[in-house]
Structure 1
Amino acid sequence: MALVQYDEGLTMREARAIYFEVNGFGADGGYGDAWVDFKLGPLPVPFPNTPARVRAVRYHDLHHVLTGYDTNTIGEFEISAWELGAGCKDFVAAWHLNLGGLFAGLLSAPRRTVRAFLRGRRSESLYGQPFEALLDRTVGDLRREMRADAP
């Protein structure tokens, strides 16, 4: 879990590789793992890495890079709120996981969670955009396009 500032000139592919490395997610981000752990404080909570979850988390990881939210517990609650505010389209797994994160965030960090949700309402998520094409775009261009450049 490390908060990183990504240079705006990096491609999303390059920034995502850094994100995977600094967070210890492995070269493929753990997308091929059968199970993944969500750390709830010091406690790992394992759950299946379903195809629907992988479909959503590919975009979720890019959102972390673009928004600057950390991968610690509070950061995950913030990104959940941001994604709900920005919209999850037809990504059912994203709606499911993010609603849990939103409610937990409202209990544990209400101001930060509400602030992230409101920021999301002013932004646009990447859900539903052609994924591979996003990886060739720059961090700066996507931040501006999504209106995610200002916290």
Structure 2
Amino acid sequence: MALVHYDEGLTMREARAIYFEVNGFGADGGYGDAWVDFKLGPLPVPFPNTPARVRAVRYHDLHHVLTGYDTNTIGEFEISAWELGAGCKDFVAAWQLNLGGLFAGLLSAPRRTVRAFLRGRRSESLYGRPFEALLDRTVGDLRREMRADAPSSGPTVSDAL
């Protein structure tokens, strides 16, 4: 688990390969594994790597690259909040996993979690876009397009509605 800033000129395919390597996820990101572990602090919590989870986590991994949220426990809570704020479309597994991360984040790191959610409200997620085409785009282009490079700000009236 390491926080890495990905150069804007890299393709998402290149950045994702670095992300997999730095985090020890293997060449395929663990997408083919039957089970995956979520680390809750030092404790691994295994759960099945279902097709619905793999469908969602392919985008989730790209969101880590674009937003800069870490893959440690707090970083996962932040990316959960960000993805909920930005929208998970029809990715049911993303909604389920992210709601758990949001609530855990609100208990353990409330300010960071709320800040990530508000940042997500001002961004767009990649969920639902043609996946393979995203891998050929550059990190910088996608960050700007989805407004992932926008700084966090306080809540607005639309956030309360």
**TM-score normalized by structure 1?**
0.99
- Check if 1:69 corresponds to 2:69: yes
Structure 1 residues 78-99: Cα deviation after superposition (integer angstroms, max 9, x where no partner): 0000000000000000000000
Structure 1 residues 99-124: Cα deviation after superposition (integer angstroms, max 9, x where no partner): 00000000000000000000000000
Residue 54 of structure 1: aligned partner: 54
Other structure's SS at 2:70 match? coil
Structure 1 residues 123-144: Cα deviation after superposition (integer angstroms, max 9, x where no partner): 0000000000000000000000
Residue 10 of structure 1: aligned partner: 10
The structure that has the greater radius of gyration is 2
Distance in 2 separating the partners of 1:149 and 1:7: 13
User: CA offset at residue 42 of structure 1?
Assistant: 0.2
RMSD over equivalenced CA pairs, Å: 0.3
- Which stretches of structure 1, 4 residues or longer, exceed 2 Å deviation after superposition? none
Other structure's SS at 1:57 match? helix
User: CA offset at residue 52 of structure 1?
Assistant: 0.0
Identity among equivalent positions (%) equals 98
Distance in 2 separating the partners of 1:65 and 1:130: 17
| Structure 2: gaps of 5 or more residues | 151-161
Other structure's SS at 2:69 match? coil
Residue 133 of structure 2: aligned partner: 133
User: CA offset at residue 18 of structure 1?
Assistant: 0.1
Q: Number of residue pairs matched? A: 150
**TM-score normalized by structure 2?**
0.93
Distance in 1 separating the partners of 2:4 and 2:109: 21
User: CA offset at residue 2 of structure 1?
Assistant: 0.3
